């Protein structure tokens, strides 16, 4: 029986377990990436492991998220990451060099290798045939130290692409179609492998747009098997030596299959406030637009930027629209500066921002009250832009640029003749903003600003776990709800006590207060709890506030792992109706916790209502140990005794 590309890479990296769907496997990680908003924690945790030098083939630390520097905090974090990287053998991509996923694709990604990144959009690397997975900072820290990465063997889904995109229809529309069909939870426990005739028609950046936004499906990752298109891309980046073919066998078997006929797709839009609320652009025509933001790790490549430049050339941005553009990397910015594309943007009145995440993570450019903002980004969760009442729509760069000129949501097909931008034969390669590590690190002093506080450490599990239900939230709660991130809070990513004051406040303003008054407690949630970002802070802040367990209808993959890594028990309702029976401030108890966590089903008693709920605790033995010992770090210490 033949293997698909995902299975081939997993097989080559398999350290423990069998490749049977749902069973726990451990894989060797070749490469890691961190960015600054999750990186400080990841490096504090790496330091706690006491390992001197990273053991990966290459690890890279990027600065791209917290770049506003409205006080010393962000700059202090940058300096900490810069020095810790220099000391421990990590390459440092300096602020200004670009968004981690874009730069990784250009300068570091290697087909067939595994990449673990402390950012949920790490699967962007799947665009060149890497097995690239997003994870919490602690998992990345362990991988940097040479430790394996544990996942349950995902189902591999064959996505057969047929036909060819029509003019003005883009890769963004392919992934929006995937989201329309599968929803934001449809990818949990799956890898999407894109194959078929249609793949040949897609460039590397187009593929990367799709694998990037596969994160919004909740998928473990997405991948395009590497082919001649990837070879040409790496050659144009001066890295053909990094290329190898990773192709599925002719008789490869998949766990599920689906098909998209590219020829029938239309330009699409994801409506507020979820990336899966997708409709064709024709349904939204004439909606007035106040702001347009182009960029992010989803759509900021050279070709994306050049398409936008062509649409804007000789035009003026509508009087009622503010247009911002963030090119994805220094390479992209420099190339459009040299070929005149940037001049067309500036000439039209676009506001050019730094090559960084910027408005995508609410680092500036929050829209006005009730505004309609069109963004080429990947997430439009409520409040993420920094303006709670704003309505964010996710679109292709083509729709974005056309709408910026017209002042309302525009169908780019009205622009007439399509634009075709050739992929360059040679990209402008200049790695002068990537600082290599010191050879030994012995004389490097790690600089720690006053804002860098120690991270909270879990305690070993008590035999009676009890607490009040501090809050009860609905379905699809994102980590942006659990641990909001905006220009005011991002500077505190290395200061959990401060961040904890805002934990879950978008859902329940009094949550931190209630947690403190009751000495911690329990969270009750609907399905897909913790979707979105990989930020471990969404587990660390609840840990700091004394949260012991989360009872939910279901969990998103990375957040569930982060909870377990930090000793918080994630339990799933066996009977979803029980969710309705629990009220805020009910007192819940898990008796004989140490015994019960050995089982797949745990009984939770509700003292106020004299009821019992069966909760599924379907985790691996290793994860049971983590809960017992109080998280991954404690378990590792215990195992090393
Ligand atoms: C995001 O897009 O939500 C982020 C900001 O990049 C996060 C990481 C973080 O919260 O720092 C992610 O995707 O993991
Ligand atoms: Fe940055 Fe946005 Fe990409 Fe997250 S999704 S890495 S915030 S550009």
List where CATH 3.20.19.10 sits in the chain: 465-635
Which atom of ligand 2 approaches the CA of 35 most closely?
6
Domain 5-264 has CATH 3.30.499.10: yes
Residue nearest (by alpha carbon) to ligand 1 atom 1: 533
Across 188-209, average pLDDT: 98
Distance from the alpha carbon of residue 22 to the mean position of ligand 1, in angstroms: 26
Which pLDDT tens digit goes with each residue over 576-617? Answer: 999 999 999 999 999 999 999 999 999 999 999 999 999 999
Which pLDDT tens digit goes with each residue over 21-68? Answer: 999 999 999 999 999 999 999 999 999 999 999 999 999 999 999 999
DSSP characters over 510-545: THHHHHHHTTSEEEEE-TTBTBS---THHHHHHHHT
Ligand nearest to the CA of 532: 1
DSSP characters over 343-364: HHHHHHT-EE--SS-GGGGTSS
Say if residue 426's pLDDT is above 90.
Answer: yes
Is 318's C-beta closer than 6 angstroms to any atom of ligand 1?
no
96 pLDDT band, cuts 50/70/90, is: very high
Domain 465-635 has CATH 3.20.19.10: yes
* Ligand 2 binding residues, C-beta < 6 A: 65, 99, 119, 121, 296-297, 357, 360-361, 377-378
Average pLDDT in the chain: 97
273 pLDDT band, cuts 50/70/90, is: very high
Say if residue 641's pLDDT is above 80.
Answer: no
Distance from the alpha carbon of residue 586 to the mean position of ligand 1, in angstroms: 33
Distance CA 513, CA 504 (A): 11
> What pLDDT score does 455 carry?
86
List where CATH 3.30.499.10 sits in the chain: 5-264, 268-414
Which atom of ligand 2 approaches the CA of 533 most closely?
4
CATH number for the domain running over 268-414: 3.30.499.10
The pair phi, psi for residue 595, each rounded to 5°, is: -80, -45
Q: Which residues on neighbouring strands pair with residue 27, listed in sequence order?
A: 14, 149
286 pLDDT band, cuts 50/70/90, is: confident
Distance CA 95, CA 74 (A): 11
Say if residue 637's pLDDT is above 90.
Answer: no
Which atom of ligand 2 approaches the CA of 300 most closely?
8
Which pLDDT tens digit goes with each residue over 163-182? Answer: 999 999 999 999 999 999 99
Across 287-296, average pLDDT: 98
> What pLDDT score does 94 carry?
98
Ligand 2: residue of 99, 299, 485 to mutate (most ligand atoms within 8 A of CB) is: 99
Say if residue 1's pLDDT is above 90.
Answer: no
> What pLDDT score does 639 carry?
87
Distance CA 30, CA 18 (A): 20
Distance from the alpha carbon of residue 525 to the mean position of ligand 2, in angstroms: 26
Which pLDDT tens digit goes with each residue over 441-499? Answer: 999 999 999 989 988 989 999 999 999 999 999 999 999 999 999 899 999 999 999 99
Ligand 2: residue of 33, 104, 329, 357 to mutate (most ligand atoms within 8 A of CB) is: 357
Residue nearest (by alpha carbon) to ligand 1 atom 7: 533
Distance CA 52, CA 146 (A): 11
b/e string for 109-138 if b means 16 or more Cβ within 10 A? bbbbbbbbbbbbbbbbbbbbbbbbbbbbbb
Residues 6+ apart with CB under 8 A from 337: none
Is 481's C-beta closer than 6 angstroms to any atom of ligand 1?
no
How far is CA 194 from each of CA 156, 225, 253, 266, rounded to the nearest angstrom?
Answer: 10, 7, 13, 19
Distance from the alpha carbon of residue 383 to the mean position of ligand 1, in angstroms: 14
Residue nearest (by alpha carbon) to ligand 2 atom 2: 360
> What pLDDT score does 83 carry?
98
Across 277-282, average pLDDT: 98
Which pLDDT tens digit goes with each residue over 322-336? Answer: 999 999 999 999 999
Q: What is the pTM of this model?
A: 0.98
> What pLDDT score does 66 carry?
94
Distance from the alpha carbon of residue 489 to the mean position of ligand 1, in angstroms: 13
């Amino acid at each position: 029986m033949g293997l698909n590309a995902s299975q081939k890479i997993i097989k080559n990296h398999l350290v423990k377990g069998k490749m049977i769907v749902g069973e726990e496997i451990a894989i060797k990680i070749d490469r890691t990436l961190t960015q600054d908003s999750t990186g400080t924690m990841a490096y504090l945790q790496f330091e706690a492991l006491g390992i001197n030098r990273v053991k990966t083939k290459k690890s890279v630390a990027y600065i791209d998220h917290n770049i506003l520097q409205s006080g010393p905090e962000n700059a202090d974090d940058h300096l900490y990451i810069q020095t810790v990287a220099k000391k421990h053998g990590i390459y440092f991509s300096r602020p200004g060099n670009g968004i981690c996923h874009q730069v990784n694709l250009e300068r570091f990604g290697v087909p067939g290798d595994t990449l673990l990144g402390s950012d949920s959009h790490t699967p962007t690397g799947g665009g060149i045939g890497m097995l690239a997975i997003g994870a919490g900072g602690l998992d990345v820290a362990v991988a940097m130290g040479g430790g394996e990465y544990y996942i349950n063997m995902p189902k591999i889904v064959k996505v057969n692409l047929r036909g060819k995109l029509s003019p003005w229809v883009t890769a963004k529309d392919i992934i929006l179609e995937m989201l329309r069909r599968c929803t934001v939870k449809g990818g949990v426990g799956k890898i999407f492998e894109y194959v078929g005739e249609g793949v040949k028609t897609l460039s590397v950046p187009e593929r990367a747009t799709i694998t990037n936004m596969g994160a919004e499906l909740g998928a473990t990752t997405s991948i395009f098997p590497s082919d001649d298109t990837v070879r040409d891309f790496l050659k144009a980046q001066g890295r053909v030596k990094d290329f190898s073919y990773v192709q599925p066998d002719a008789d490869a078997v998949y766990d599920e299959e689906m098909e998209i006929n590219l020829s029938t797709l239309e330009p699409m839009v994801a409506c507020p406030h979820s990336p899966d609320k997708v409709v064709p652009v024709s349904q939204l025509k004439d909606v007035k637009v106040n702001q347009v933001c182009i960029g992010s790790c989803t759509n900021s490549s050279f070709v994306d930027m050049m398409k936008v430049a062509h649409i804007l050339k000789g035009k003026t941005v509508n009087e009622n629209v503010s247009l911002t553009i963030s090119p994805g990397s220094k390479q992209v910015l420099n190339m459009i500066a040299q070929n005149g594309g940037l001049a067309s943007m500036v000439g039209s009145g676009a506001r050019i921002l730094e090559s960084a995440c910027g408005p995508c993570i609410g680092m500036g450019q929050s829209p006005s009250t009730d505004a309609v903002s069109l963004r080429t980004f990947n997430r439009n969760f409520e409040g993420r832009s920094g303006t709670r009442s704003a309505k964010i729509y996710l679109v292709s760069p083509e729709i974005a640029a056309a709408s910026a000129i017209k002042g309302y949501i525009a169908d780019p097909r009205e622009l007439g003749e399509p634009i075709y931008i050739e992929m360059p034969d040679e990209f402008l390669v200049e790695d002068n903003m990537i600082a290599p590590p010191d050879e030994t690190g012995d004389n490097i002093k790690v600089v720690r600003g006053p804002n860098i506080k120690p991270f909270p450490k879990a305690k070993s599990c008590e035999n009676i776990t009890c607490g009040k239900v501090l809050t009860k939230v609905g379905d699809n709660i994102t980590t942006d709800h659990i641990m909001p991130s905006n220009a005011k809070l991002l500077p505190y990513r290395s200061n959990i006590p401060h961040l904890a004051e805002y934990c879950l406040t978008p859902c329940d303003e009094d949550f931190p207060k209630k947690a403190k008054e009751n000495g911690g407690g329990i969270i009750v949630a609907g399905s897909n709890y913790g979707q979105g970002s990989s930020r471990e802070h969404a587990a660390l802040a609840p840990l700091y506030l004394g949260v012991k367990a989360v009872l939910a209808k279901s969990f998103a993959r990375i957040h569930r792992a982060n909870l377990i890594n930090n000793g918080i028990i994630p339990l799933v309702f066996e009977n979803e109706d029980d969710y309705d029976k629990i009220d805020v401030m009910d007192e819940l108890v898990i008796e004989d916790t140490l015994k019960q966590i050995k089982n797949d089903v745990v009984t939770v008693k509700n003292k106020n209502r004299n009821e019992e709920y069966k909760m599924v605790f379907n985790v691996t033995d290793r994860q049971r140990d983590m809960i017992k010992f109080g998280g991954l770090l404690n378990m590792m210490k215990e195992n090393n005794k």
